[in-house]
Amino acid sequence: MSRSFFPEANRWKRRDVLRTLFFTAGAVGSASWLVGCGGSDSTAAAPTPGIGDMPDGEELPEIADELLGRFADIGPLQDADIHGVRSPQGFATRIVAINSELPQPEGMDASAPQTGGIGNRPWHIFPDGGGVVPRENGGWIYISNSEVPGAGTLGFTFPELAGLSTAIEEFTPGLAQVGTLVFDPDGTIVDSYTILSGTTFNCAGCVTPWNTWLSCEEFPNGQVWECDPYQPGEGLARPTLGFFSHEAIAIDPDERMLYLTEDMPDGRFYRWIPDPSDWPEGSDRAALQSGRLQVLAVRGEGVDAALDGPQAIEWLDVRNPHEPQHENRLPASTVFDGGEGVWFFKGVVYFATKGDDRIWAVDTLSQTIEVIYDRATAVAPNNILSGVDNLFVTSQGDILVAEDGGDMQVVVILPDGTLKPLLQVVGQDASEIAGIAFSPDGRRMYFTSDRGGRNGAGGFTNGLGMVYELILPNTL
């Protein structure tokens, strides 16, 4: 199916090792399954409420009290299955892609690698952030970034070299790409192709309300690229969204704003406000060509006080928006140590910071920020989450957090604040989990082990990346 979406104009953890050697999403609910990053819903029958639908004065704790959570009643994790995944009783897994192998119509099994397959490209290495868009026939497309480092990534690991690495990056095309898996309604894989290439260290991103994919480059001069997931091709750079180590994006479609994280030790949290002509009121999409980039500053009693309760925030226009932001820091802006996943849900923007293992909540109504999970102060049994990374929020209020390291789990933060493990990948301790996304009917959840692979003996271990499908029981 061919269609055009573009306007006419125009861890400190395991990944650091790789960066050095080489010198990186539909909400789920009972009635509304497929929601783009940030909580916009352009395809489902029952749209997720935006901030304009909320009663005046309703804040985060009151919202949480009304939501029960889709995964509130799941049981403990069972023993690992043949694919190396522990999940609650009633769940099952399938492997749908493995690095350097052609995807198979029925998925990959634990036997020897296949020689034939779907598409004209082996699956890319280091799959990271991902998303899903629907097809007109009832199927769907899973979109997957490839987090392959390049010259510019040297400046991520060694910020003092960012200027040199950025200059080299200008003359050395990146090795990252964005690939797709195309599914029929019954889950059969029918195609696979590339929608972006030549970029560097593509980490997470966002499915837009208009069903394009925003892919984020994670290095000091990185950009955001907009891609058409419905056909092979190349994306378009969107420089208005800034030049920095982009990690992820969330979109508030009602207020027409984008929120962006920066994965650096001295990173910031940003929002982008389109010019009126870029995303006119009533328009179904933004052109993403002109707007204001702003950075967050915590006021009140300061960012540390956000552990104890909401603190007032202010948005400041960035300095020199078309230059690398690590060279143009505003002293009044607030540092967030390693920004990771971000998601917009019912007037709240959730985001993770890996440097301090925290989940933050920005209330866009009251313009406040608070910490809703802090590893250092969490008390058992609600302290099982470490290595926070990608985020996904279901339409029932579950916050799914993928771990970079930690126990290689996806952990659910329920609306009442209780934590439960949803799954765990074993035998791949050098990897991380990312790329959480759901099929339009909500029955299948996709995630990556971005450094998993075959062990040569019919099982799986550390490797160059693979994509899993978690099949949910009918009771959920």
Are the beta carbons of 396 and 384 closer than 8 angstroms? no
pLDDT, position 125 = 93
pLDDT, position 456 = 85
Angle made by CA atoms 254, 256, 262, in degrees to the nearest 5: 120
pLDDT, position 40 = 38
Q: What DSSP state is assigned to residue 145?
A: E
346-360 pLDDT, tens per residue?
Answer: 999 999 999 999 999
Q: Which comes out higher in pLDDT, residue 406 or 265? A: 265
The helix/strand/coil state of 455 is: coil
Burial annotation 266-305 (CB, 10 A radius, 16+ → b, else e): ebbbbbbbbeeebbeeeeebbbbbebebbbbbbeeeebee
Q: Which residues are CB-neighbours of 386 under 8 A, at least 6 positions away?
A: 357, 375, 403, 405, 406, 407
Reply yes or no on whether the pLDDT at 142 is more than 60.
yes
Amino acid at 412: V
Exposure on the CB side of residue 327, measured as CA atoms within 13 A: 17
pLDDT, position 150 = 57
Beta strands in 99-175 (DSSP E): 127-134, 140-146
Write down the pTM of the prediction: 0.86
11 is a domain residue: no
Amino acid at 8: E
Q: Which comes out higher in pLDDT, residue 161 or 306? A: 306
Distance CA 111, CA 83 (A): 11
The DSSP code sequence of 15-32 is HHHHHHHT-------SS-
Angle made by CA atoms 395, 398, 401, in degrees to the nearest 5: 120
432-466 pLDDT, tens per residue?
Answer: 999 999 999 999 999 999 999 999 888 999 999 99
Domain that holds residue 81: 26-471
Cα of first residue to Cα of last residue in the chain, in angstroms, is 32
pLDDT band for position 85 (cuts 50, 70, 90): very high
Distance CA 42, CA 367 (A): 26
Reply yes or no on whether the pLDDT at 15 is more than 70.
no
Are the beta carbons of 434 and 204 closer than 8 angstroms? yes
Are the beta carbons of 101 and 452 closer than 8 angstroms? no
pLDDT band for position 162 (cuts 50, 70, 90): low
Paired tokens of 20: 């050095």
367-395 pLDDT, tens per residue?
Answer: 999 999 999 999 999 999 999 999 999 99
pLDDT, position 11 = 33
Distance CA 56, CA 452 (A): 47
291 is a domain residue: yes
Structurally, how many domains does the chain consist of? 1
6 is a domain residue: no
424 is a domain residue: yes
Are the beta carbons of 219 and 155 closer than 8 angstroms? yes
250-292 pLDDT, tens per residue?
Answer: 999 999 999 999 999 999 999 999 999 999 999 999 999 999 9
210-256 pLDDT, tens per residue?
Answer: 999 999 999 999 999 999 999 999 999 999 999 999 999 999 999 99
CATH number at residue 272: 2.120.10.30
Task: Write down the mean pLDDT value for the chain.
Answer: 85
Q: Which residues are CB-neighbours of 209 under 8 A, at least 6 positions away?
A: 36, 40, 41, 42, 251, 253, 284, 285
The helix/strand/coil state of 163 is: helix
203 is a domain residue: yes
338 is a domain residue: yes
7 is a domain residue: no
Q: Which residues are CB-neighbours of 21 under 8 A, at least 6 positions away?
A: none
Paired tokens of 65: 């009290």
17 is a domain residue: no
Q: Which comes out higher in pLDDT, residue 30 or 196? A: 196
Amino acid at 238: R
Going across the sheet that includes 444-449, the strands are 92-98, 466-471, 444-449, 433-438
322-337 pLDDT, tens per residue?
Answer: 999 999 999 999 999 9
